[in-house]
Amino acid sequence: MPQPRPDIGNPRRQAAGQAAWTPDLALGILDWFQSPPGKDMTQDELKKAVAEAALEYVQSGWIVGVGTGSTANHFIDALAKMKGRIDGAVASSEASAERLRGHGIEVLDLNAAGPLPIYVDGADEATSHLHLTKGGGGALTREKIVAAASETFICVIDETKQVDYLGAFPMPVEVIPMARSHVARALAAQGGNPVLREGFRTDNGNVILDVHGLRIMNAVELEGELDHIAGVVTNGLFARRPADIMLVGSATGVDKITA
Q: Of 14 and 202, which CB lies nearer to ligand 5RP in the complex structure?
A: 202
Residues in contact with ligand 5RP by the rule CB under 6 A: 67-71, 121-124, 134-140, 143
Question: Least CB distance from residue 138 to ligand 5RP, whole Å?
Answer: 6
Question: Least CB distance from residue 108 to ligand 5RP, whole Å?
Answer: 20
Query: Can you tell me the distance from the alpha carbon of 231 to that of 110, in angstroms, rounded to the nearest whole number?
Result: 24
Q: Of 84 and 198, which CB lies nearer to ligand 5RP in the complex structure?
A: 198
Question: Least CB distance from residue 122 to ligand 5RP, whole Å?
Answer: 3
Residues recognised as catalytic: 143
Instruction: Report the Cα–Cα distance between both ends of the chain, in Å, rounded.
Output: 31
Q: DSSP letter string over the chain?
A: -PPPPPGGG-HHHHHHHT----HHHHHHHHHHHHS-TTTT--HHHHHHHHHHHGGGG--TT-EEEE--SHHHHHHHHHHGGGTTTS-EEEESSHHHHHHHHHTT--B--HHHH-SEEEEEE--SEE-TT--EE--TTS-HHHHHHHHHTEEEEEEEEEGGGB-SSBTSSPEEEEE-GGGHHHHHHHHHHTT-EEEE-TT---TTS-EEEEEES--BS-HHHHHHHHHTSTTEEEESEE-SS--SEEEEEETTEEEEEE-
Q: Of 9 and 132, which CB lies nearer to ligand 5RP in the complex structure?
A: 132
Question: Least CB distance from residue 119 to ligand 5RP, whole Å?
Answer: 11
Question: Least CB distance from residue 123 to ligand 5RP, whole Å?
Answer: 5
Query: Can you tell me the distance from the alpha carbon of 231 to that of 178, in angstroms, rounded to the nearest whole number?
Result: 8
Q: Of 68 and 150, which CB lies nearer to ligand 5RP in the complex structure?
A: 68
Q: Of 137 and 192, which CB lies nearer to ligand 5RP in the complex structure?
A: 137
